[in-house]
Chain A
Amino acid sequence: MSTPTELSDSAAPGSRAGRNTPGGRTKPKGVKRLSKRDKVVLGFMVGIPTLVQLAFVWIPTVLSVLLSFTRWNGLALSDIRAAGLANYSYVFNDSPAFWPAVQHNILWLVFLAVIATPLGLLLAVLLDQQIRGSKIYQSIFFVPVMLSLALVGIIWQLFYQKDNGLLNFLLGTAGTPAAVDWFGNSSVNIWAALVAATWRHAGYVMILYLAGLKGVDASLKEAASLDGANATQTFFRIVFPAMAPINIVIVVITIIESLRAFDVVWVINKGTNGLELISALVISYLIGEGQSIGIGSAFAVILLVISLVPITIYLSRTFRKEKF
């Protein structure tokens, strides 16, 4: 416990002194003022996370990129053979699941952005009012976020099952030929999966916005109402813009969620028959007996490249802001 305090004590005044007293007694530069022990501690504090990051993020990423240019069955290392662009050609030309998967990922993003995220915002705004039992509602909406994917799958099977499911029962079509085959019909099942995904995503967004709404200065709202703004105007012109940092986080989360969308479709049918997603393709080619490491890696690299776009935009935005 004592080391971090010690560390900040010694580092912080050093840098401040350097800035504030240019003409005074020459203060030693930061590095030299650190004792040997400080350096060791700092080394560990920076080194361990860096090592973890290297071992679990950077090295696997680089290896994936390299492996995507090889053919490998996952057995002995001596079985690895160079494949050039063959895996990418397989992905783009031969794999019938790839383009549907890209479309579904885009659909996923649009649906979350247009339906699920606004729904979460709406829930947050409603629950932010002084209504009775607000905490209970919050918990109810947040529960799906905490559930394991297996449980989410089981719950939605109960709703969507064709002959005995709740939905067809409510529609009065259970057991009849008119029953909607929510999971089996490939033009319906993606929407069924999106609703299940929304169920989780909206709760997640709600909690973040609830935190954001609490952080908005109440005097802003008062000032707005003094100026004669109604509730809608206050929200869209004052409160929402004031939550800008949260909004950026939400945008990033929504994009990431749509790229890593996986669990719901995997539980339904392992991402086949109308539920293709890039992440599901990565897993089915990389894990288990059916592994073709090269092709799986190629899928993973493509997913990485797509993911880099929003991440780069996000990072460049936050860095730019820091300069002010």
Chain B
Amino acid sequence: MSPNEDRSPFSPFRPGMDRRTLLKTLGVGAVSAAGIPLLAACTGGSGPGASASASTSLTFGSGSSDDVPKAAYQAVTDAFTAKSKISVTTNVVPHNDFQNKISTYLQGSPDDAFTWFAGYRMQYYAGKGLLAPIDDVWEKIGANYSDAMKKASTGPDGKMYFVPNYNYPWGFFYRKSLWADKGYEVPTTFDALTTLAKKMKSDGLVPIEFADKDGWPAMGTFDYINMRLNGYQFHMDLTAHKESWDQKKVSDVFDTWKALLPYQNPAALGMTWQDSAINLGKKKSGMYLLGSFVTQQFTDKATLDDIDFFPFPEIAVEGQDAVEAPIDGLLLSKKGGTNQAARDFLAFMGTPEGQNAYAKVDPSNIATAKGADTSTFSPLTKKCAETIANAKSISQFFDRDALPAMANNVMIPALQGFIKDGTIDVKNLEAQAKALYAAQ
């Protein structure tokens, strides 16, 4: 940071510098710099394209970079290759990088098949024409899936785009022994839930464990109250911004939530979901609304076996039919759509055989295809699987169903503000939603 360094770009040209030469150099530089992406696009397109037409091999882009899922996908591709003699080249990219670069990835030279999520995150790219429809694949595997799964795999144009691999439900998790001690009963209505919470509070517990330092966990509560109050379809229309945020139905969600706020952990804004999971494990809190991944935090087997859950109680409409259960699975890039081998690979993922190969290595998630092996499931996992299988509608999660910019930049601060003082400005939410969705 010496002053001299800062000054240099502003110093007048030295006598030795021919201004015209400089400009010429710059011009050439700029042209060649501009040419790089074009060239890259050319080579990128022709390379894998050649193998794509051969149909005896495919490339597979995976964002599952953690050890267990990475090995699990390896098992899937191995099983596929053993069965079909089609070779699969897997490119593993670190999880967050994969997500952050998905736009450029799909526009550049993507792999034939790749890991992604259901919901708006899939529909958005399908709508932009960056994915290949796979209705023919679904003709083969359709019978393996529930209606809710099929709905979650359908693009905005009604065509099929997605093959679900696994998912996990959200619900209220609790410790059976604590509840048995205190004589608590599973609530099935919202009133029963608040009554129970009140009782827990008088027993000296934090009734509903809650953490929102990272911003996203609170979306689960919002999603459920909205679905139970206004129905699944309204929730989906709202997240897709087909419904306005500035209406009574939305402010009703927050008014209903207000009844729960006094029972949720008041320290939520400084805690991560892992911090909250510790409290649940220590029996400091009565219950915890989160995804079933919360069980990853209980490494002690006795504690893990003591965990159970119940679905979010009914409030006004549709009972408990809608379940929040984010689905992960596979998509075909536009280029991959021309490769029959890639279609075969996706079809394989949609069979019990393919899903068993995955689940054998990564048992923390729940296979989505009917007929997948459930004999090794723990009672809790079985219950998770049943809850999803019986669901009439499956929502993903706010940040997967809504425009990501809306989820990250608008909802996270808004929900944190609501948790802080119980106020929300739905007019402002609508104004922001309008600006953000308009940019898409």
Contacts and interface: CB of A to CB of B under 8 A. Distances in A.
A87 B435 CA distance: 8
Interface string B273-289: 00100000000000000
Given A43-B17, A74-B103, A292 B10 contact: no
B46 interface: no
A289 B18 CA distance: 45
Name the residue among B1, B100, B213, B409 with the largest chain A CB count within 10 angstroms: B409
Nearest to A54: B26
Interface string A228-258: 0000000000000000010011001100000
Contact of A288 (B10, B99, B438): B99
A134 to B, nearest CB: 24
Contacts of B8: 49
Interface stretch (B159-167, B366-374, B425-433): B425-433
Contacts of B26: 47, 50-51, 54
B270 interface: yes
Nearest to A179: B267
Contact of A71 (B13, B17, B102, B439): B439
Contacts, number: 161
B435 A90 contact: yes
A75 B108 CA distance: 10
Given A42-B16, A284-B408, A269 B102 contact: no
B270 A185 contact: yes
B171 to A, nearest CB: 25
Contact of B405 (A269, A270, A291): A291
A272 B412 contact: yes
B103 A75 contact: yes
B16 A31 contact: yes
Contact of A94 (B10, B25, B431): B431
A54 to B, nearest CB: 7
22 contacts: A15-B15, A31-B15, A34-B16, A43-B22, A55-B29, A55-B33, A71-B438, A75-B103, A163-B275, A184-B213, A184-B269, A185-B270, A249-B1, A253-B1, A270-B214, A272-B413, A273-B417, A276-B413, A289-B99, A292-B405, A292-B436, A318-B3
B25 A47 contact: yes
Name the residue among B270, B271, B413 with the largest chain A CB count within 10 angstroms: B270
Interface string A271-292: 0110010000000110111111
Contacts of B6: 314-315, 318
B77 to A, nearest CB: 26
B1 A42 contact: no
Given A49-B8, A54-B26, A94-B431, 17 more contacts: A31-B18, A39-B21, A42-B17, A43-B17, A53-B9, A55-B29, A76-B107, A76-B128, A181-B270, A185-B270, A288-B404, A289-B102, A289-B103, A292-B405, A315-B6, A318-B6, A318-B7
User: Lowest 3 A-B CB distances belong to which pairs?
Assistant: A184-B270, A30-B15, A184-B269
B346 interface: no
B202 interface: no
Contacts of B431: 93-94
Contact of A38 (B1, B16, B413, B435): B16
Contacts of A287: 100
B398 to A, nearest CB: 12
B262 interface: no
A252 B1 CA distance: 10
A183 B8 CA distance: 43
B17 A295 contact: no
A71 B440 CA distance: 8
Nearest to A165: B270
Contact of B270 (A42, A162, A289): A162
A186 interface: yes
Interface residues of B, number: 58
Interface string A165-208: 00000000000000001111110000000000000000000000
Name the residue among A49, A73, A162, A287 with the largest chain B CB count within 10 angstroms: A73
A276 B413 CA distance: 10
A46 interface: yes
Contact of A50 (B22, B33, B270, B408): B22
Contact of B409 (A47, A253, A285): A285
B25 A51 contact: yes
A272 B130 CA distance: 33
B18 A181 contact: no
Name the residue among B99, B100, B436, B439 with the largest chain A CB count within 10 angstroms: B439
A71 B34 CA distance: 23
A71 B438 CA distance: 8
Given A75-B128, A290-B405, A245 B412 contact: no
Contacts of A71: 438-439
Contacts of A83: 439
B325 interface: no
Interface in A1-53: 11, 15, 29-31, 34, 38-39, 42-43, 46-47, 49-51, 53
A149 interface: no
Contacts of A273: 213, 269, 413, 416-417, 420
B83 interface: no
B213 A269 contact: yes
A96 interface: yes
Interface string B96-134: 000110110001000000000000010000001010000
Nearest to B275: A163
Interface in B175-205: none
A285 B107 CA distance: 20
A285 B407 CA distance: 11
Nearest to B432: A94
A96 B416 contact: no
B122 to A, nearest CB: 12
A76 B107 CA distance: 8
B3 A249 contact: yes
B428 A96 contact: yes
B268 interface: yes
Contacts of A272: 215, 412-413, 416
A183 B215 CA distance: 13
Name the residue among B2, B8, B14 with the largest chain A CB count within 10 angstroms: B14
Contacts of A42: 14, 16-17
Contacts of A87: 435
Nearest to A7: B16
A260 B89 CA distance: 42
A289 B405 CA distance: 7
